[in-house]
Amino acid sequence: MFPGIEEAVLQVVSPATLLLCLAGVVAGMAVGATPGLSATVGLALLLPLTFTLDPARGLVLMGAFYSGAIYGGAFTAILVNSPGTPSSIATTFDGYPLTRKGRSEVAIIAVTTASVVGGLVGVVGLLLLGPAIADVVLAFGPQEYFWLGIFGLTMIAGLAAKSLVKGFAAGFVGLLISTIGIAPVGGDVRFTFGFTQMQAGVPLIVALIGFFTVPAMIDLMVDPGSRAAAMRREARRREPGLLLRTVRDVLSRPLNLIRSAVIGTFVGMLPGAGGNVANLIAYNEAKRASKTPGEFGKGKVDGVVAPEAANNAVVGGGLIPLLTLGIPGAPPDAVIFGVLLLHGLRPGAELFTTQGELTFTFIIALGVSALLLAPVGLIVGRGLQRAVVRTPTAYLVPGIALVTMIGAYAVRNNPLDVVIMVALGLVGYGLRHLGLPPAAVVLGVVLGPIIEAGLGQGLLTASGDAVPWLSFFTRPVSAGIIVLVLLALLWPLWGRWRRLRAARTTSAAGAAGPAADTEREGTK
C-alpha cells in the first residue's frame, strides 16, 4: 500500500534526520514567535539552505520548520496578545486572558498538547486519506470560497458578546479595510487616498499587530498597575504536577481536539484558506459546541486548544493537494512546492509510487516534528513564558513595541506600515471603548479578500449563464455550505430563545409560588 515506507522510517530515525527535525522545529518556533515574520517568510529564508542538502533532508528541514513556526505563533499570542502568525489569531481570544489571570503556563502547556495532537491528525490525514480526498478540493470553486468566507463571518455572532449589531458593524469595518488597494479580480485601485504605498492594501500582519498588540500596550502604559497581581504571583509560584494535570485536562476532552484537528486538516486542503481561516472556524465551533460558551473569551483552556489543534493540522492538510495535485494549500506550501520542483520532483499521484521513499520520509518526519513540539515547546515555551512574566512592565512594554514595529516593517520593508500599525492600534483602542470588538474587525480583514475574490471570480465564471448570481446557490457544495451558514446564524438565536423561555418559566413559577401558597392556606 505504501511503497518505500520501511526505508522512509529507517531514514527518519537516523540521528542526522532527527537532528534536522529538532533544528527545524527550534528555528521555526523562533521565527513563528516573532510578530511580523510568518512561516512563509521563514521558509523562504531557509530555501537557500536546502540547496546544499539532498531532497529528502531538505524537505524534512522545511517540514519541521513549518510545524515549529505555526506552533511558535501561539507564544506571543498568549503572552503579549500579539499573534506571531495569522494562524494564531483566535489563540489571543483566550490565551491573553489566561495570562492576565496568571495562568499563562497552563495556556502554554495546553497549546503544546493541542499542537502535537493537531499536527499528528494532519499527518495521519495526509498519509491515509490524502489521495482519496484530494478530489474534494477540486469541487471547490469561487462560489464555494465565497460561502466559506461568509461562513467564517458568522463567527462574529460569537465574538459580539454584548451587541450583535455592533459586532457586525466591526466585521464590516474590517471588510472595508480589506478593500483598500488593488482589487483582486478587476485590478481597480481603491481607497488609497493618494498614497501609492497603499496600493498593496493593508497587510494582514500589520492589521493583526495593530488591533491586538497596540491596545494591550496602551493599556499597560496608561494603567501599569493593571498587570494583575496574579501574573506577578505566577512569576514566583511553582505548581508541582501542573504539567501532567494540564495535559490530562486537555486530553480529557478529546472531542474538542479531534474536531478542531479535522477542521484544520480539511480547511488546510482548500487552497488559499489555510491556518488563517482554520483557527477561527475551529474556535467558533469549539465555542458553539461548549456547554459553557459564555466562558470563552475570558480565559478558557478550550479556547486556546481549538485554534492550535486546527492550525497545526493545517500543516498536514495543506500538503494533501500539494503532494497529490500540485496545488499548494497555503502560502508556506508554495515554498515547499518550490523545493520539490527545484529537486526535479513532480507532485501528483505518482509521487507516492515512484518517489515513495522520499515522500514518506517527508510525511513521517512531519509526524516526528509534531511529536518534537512537546519537549521543545515545553522547555523553550515555558522558558519564554517565565521570562515574559518576570520582566518588569517598564521594560516589557517598550520591548514588545520595538519587536512589533520591526515585525510590521519587515512585512514589506515599508516604514509607512509601522505608522499604519500604530494608527490601527489607536483606532482599535477607540473602537473597543465604543463597544466594537477589534477581533471582529480583524476577522473582516482576514475574510474580506476570500469573499471578494470568490464573488468576483464566481460571477465571471458564470457570466455565460442567464442569471450569474444563481450559480452561488445551485452548486451542491455551495448549498451544503449555505446550510452550515444558516445553522451558524440560527444557533445563537435558538440558544437565546431557549434562555429567554427558561427565564420566563422561572419567573412565572416564582410569581405563581406565593399565590399558590396563599390559595393553599385559604383552603385549609
Partner 1 sequence: MSSDLRRDLICAALILAVTAVFWTRQDFSTPTDVIFPRFVLVVLAVLGLAIAGMAVVRASRNGAASDGEAPEAGAGAELPPQTPGMRQAPGGRSAAPAAAAAPGTSGAGTSLTERAAAEDAASDDGKGGDEAGEEPVGGPRGSRPRWALPAAAALLLAWAAAFGLFGITLSGVVAFVATAILIRRGPGTPRRLLIDVGVALVVALFCWAVFTRVLYVPLPVSVLLGI
Binding positions for partner 1, 423-482, rule CB under 8 A: 423, 425-426, 433-436, 451-452, 455-456, 459-460
Answer yes or no: are the C-beta atoms of 340 and 59 closer than 8 Å.
Answer: yes
When the beta carbons of 124 and 218 are compared against partner 1, the nearer one is 218
Answer yes or no: are the C-beta atoms of 297 and 110 closer than 8 Å.
Answer: no
Q: Give the nearest distance from C-beta 422 to partner 1 in angstroms.
A: 4
Read off φ and ψ for residue 33, nearest 5 degrees: -80, -5
User: Does the protein bind partner 1 through residue 216 (CB under 8 A)?
Assistant: no
- String of b and e for 246-274 (b: at least 16 CB within 10 Å)? bbebbeeeeebbebbbbbbbbbbbbbbbb
What is the sign of the dihedral through the CA atoms of 288, 291, 294 and 299?
negative
Q: CA nearest 90: which of 103, 74, 79, 75? A: 74
Angle at the Cα of 35 from the Cα atoms of 30 and 37, rounded to 5 degrees: 65
User: Does the protein bind partner 1 through residue 197 (CB under 8 A)?
Assistant: no
Within positions 124 to 153, which residues make up the interface with partner 1, using CB under 8 A?
Answer: none
Q: How far is CA 156 from CA 110, 127, 166, in A?
A: 25, 35, 10
Q: CA nearest 94: which of 291, 378, 284, 315? A: 284
Q: Give the nearest distance from C-beta 181 to partner 1 in angstroms.
A: 11
User: Does the protein bind partner 1 through residue 233 (CB under 8 A)?
Assistant: yes
Answer yes or no: are the C-beta atoms of 418 and 197 closer than 8 Å.
Answer: no
User: Does the protein bind partner 1 through residue 295 (CB under 8 A)?
Assistant: yes
Nearest-angstrom CA–CA distance, 112 and 114: 5
User: Does the protein bind partner 1 through residue 499 (CB under 8 A)?
Assistant: no
User: Which burial class, exposed, middle or buried, applies to 91 when counting CB atoms under 10 A from its CB (0-12, 13-18, 19+)?
Assistant: buried
User: Does the protein bind partner 1 through residue 376 (CB under 8 A)?
Assistant: no
User: Does the protein bind partner 1 through residue 491 (CB under 8 A)?
Assistant: no
User: Does the protein bind partner 1 through residue 511 (CB under 8 A)?
Assistant: no
Q: Give the nearest distance from C-beta 352 to partner 1 in angstroms.
A: 35
Q: How far is CA 74 from CA 81, 112, 229, 371, in A?
A: 9, 9, 23, 17
Q: Give the nearest distance from C-beta 351 to partner 1 in angstroms.
A: 32
User: Does the protein bind partner 1 through residue 309 (CB under 8 A)?
Assistant: no
Among 1, 52, 238, 292, binds partner 1 (CB under 8 A): 292
Q: Give the nearest distance from C-beta 489 to partner 1 in angstroms.
A: 15
Within positions 311 to 370, which residues make up the interface with partner 1, using CB under 8 A?
Answer: none
Q: Give the nearest distance from C-beta 25 to partner 1 in angstroms.
A: 17
Among 124, 133, 232, 484, binds partner 1 (CB under 8 A): 232
Number of residues that bind partner 1 (CB under 8 A): 92
- Report CA 443 to chain centroid distance, whole Å: 11
When the beta carbons of 9 and 247 are compared against partner 1, the nearer one is 247
Among 18, 129, 137, 176, binds partner 1 (CB under 8 A): 176
When the beta carbons of 53 and 164 are compared against partner 1, the nearer one is 164
Nearest-angstrom CA–CA distance, 506 and 511: 9
Q: CA nearest 196: which of 412, 38, 404, 409? A: 412
Among 416, 477, 482, 484, binds partner 1 (CB under 8 A): 416
Among 291, 464, 515, 521, binds partner 1 (CB under 8 A): 291
Nearest-angstrom CA–CA distance, 483 and 354: 42
Encoded one letter per residue, x for contact with partner 1 by CB under 8 A and - for no contact, window 8-37 reads: -----------------------x-----x
Encoded one letter per residue, x for contact with partner 1 by CB under 8 A and - for no contact, window 78-107 reads: --------------------x--xxx--x-
